[in-house]
Chain A
Amino acid sequence: MRVLPLAAAAFLTATAFWRPSSSDVTVIVTSTLEGNLTPCGCTKPMSGGIKRRATVVRRLSTSGPSVTLDSGGWIKSSGRQDEMKVEALAETLRQSRVNAALWGLSESRLGSSIAATASRLSEGRLVTTSVIADPEAGLNRWIVADPFLVGGIALDPTRAAESLAGKPVTTTQALSDLKQAAAELDLVPALLIEGGREQAAELARLEPSLSLVVYRLQGTPPETLDLVGNTALVSAGDLGRKVVALTYNDGKFKSVRVIDLGPDVADDEEVSRTHSRYLARVSEAGLLDRLPRGNSAGYVGSQTCGSCHGEALDAWKATRHSNALVTLEHEGHDKDPDCVGCHVTGLDDESGFRSREKTPLFSSVGCESCHGPGGDHVKEPAKFKLRANGAQSCLPCHTSTTSPGFDFETYWARVIHK
Chain B
Amino acid sequence: MFFLPALILFQGEIGPTLQAGSSAEFYRLCYSVEQKLEQGDFAAAEKAARMLPRLMVSYSWDDSKVPEVRRAEFRTARDQALSAWTRSNIGIEFKEERNADIKFSFVDELPPNADSSVPAGAVHFYSESPEEPRVEAVIALKRGLARDETELLDVHQEVAYTVASYFGIHRNPLAGPFAFRSEEPVRFQSSGVAFEFMLARRNVEIGDTLRKAVVEKRRLTPTRPELRIEPSEVALEQAVQGDKVTFSIQVSNVGNAPLLLRVRPDCGCLAGNVPSSIAPGGSGIIEGSIDTTEFVGALRKRFFVYSNDPDGALKQVPITLNVKPLFRLLSRDGNAITIPKGKSKTVQVFLSLAPDANMKVLNAKVEGRPAALAWDVWMGDAADPEMGEPEKTRRGYQFRLTFDDQGPPGRSSTMLVIETDNPKHPTLRYPISSQLGIVAIPEEVYFGEIQRMARRARLTLSQPGTPFRITKVESNNPRMTATAGSERSDEHRLTVELDGNMDYGQFNASLTIFTDDPDMPRVVVPVRAVVR
Contact = CB atoms under 8 A, between A and B. Distances in A.
Interface stretch (A77-85, A311-319, A359-367): A77-85
Contacts of B442: 83, 87, 113-114, 117
A262 B367 contact: no
A54 to B, nearest CB: 13
Given A11-B123, A120-B458, A222-B318, A392 B426 contact: yes
A63 B385 contact: no
Contacts of B269: 400
Contact of A292 (B120, B187, B367): B367
A290 B412 contact: yes
Contact of B298 (A8, A196, A395): A196
Contacts of A5: 113, 123-125
A274 B173 contact: no
Given A121-B448, A260-B173, A218 B300 contact: yes
B446 interface: yes
B208 interface: no
B-side interface size class:
35 or more
Interface string A1-25: 1111111101100100110100000
B493 interface: yes
Interface string B368-403: 110000000000000101101000000000000000
A274 B449 contact: yes
Contacts of A7: 110-114, 120, 123
Interface in B411-429: 411-415, 417, 423-424, 426
A6 B119 CA distance: 13
B382 to A, nearest CB: 13
B187 A117 contact: no
B28 interface: yes
A220 B268 contact: no
Contacts of B530: 273, 277
A63 B124 CA distance: 25
Nearest to B124: A5
Interface residues of A, number: 89
A370 B308 CA distance: 44
A294 B417 contact: yes
Given A8-B125, A59-B144, A105 B386 contact: yes
A257 B268 CA distance: 24
A174 B253 CA distance: 53
Given A117-B446, A263-B188, A266-B187, A109 B336 contact: yes
A53 to B, nearest CB: 13
Contacts of B129: 1-2
Contact of B414 (A45, A262, A292): A292
Given A3-B28, A195-B388, A264-B186, A45 B176 contact: yes
Interface in A260-296: 260, 262-267, 270, 273-274, 277, 281, 285, 290-294
19 contacts: A2-B125, A2-B129, A3-B128, A7-B110, A17-B109, A45-B176, A58-B146, A87-B446, A106-B386, A117-B457, A120-B457, A121-B448, A163-B334, A263-B176, A273-B449, A281-B528, A400-B267, A400-B294, A404-B268
Given A195-B388, A267-B187, 16 more contacts: A1-B128, A1-B129, A2-B126, A11-B123, A59-B145, A87-B442, A117-B442, A121-B446, A136-B458, A197-B298, A217-B298, A265-B186, A266-B187, A274-B448, A274-B449, A294-B415
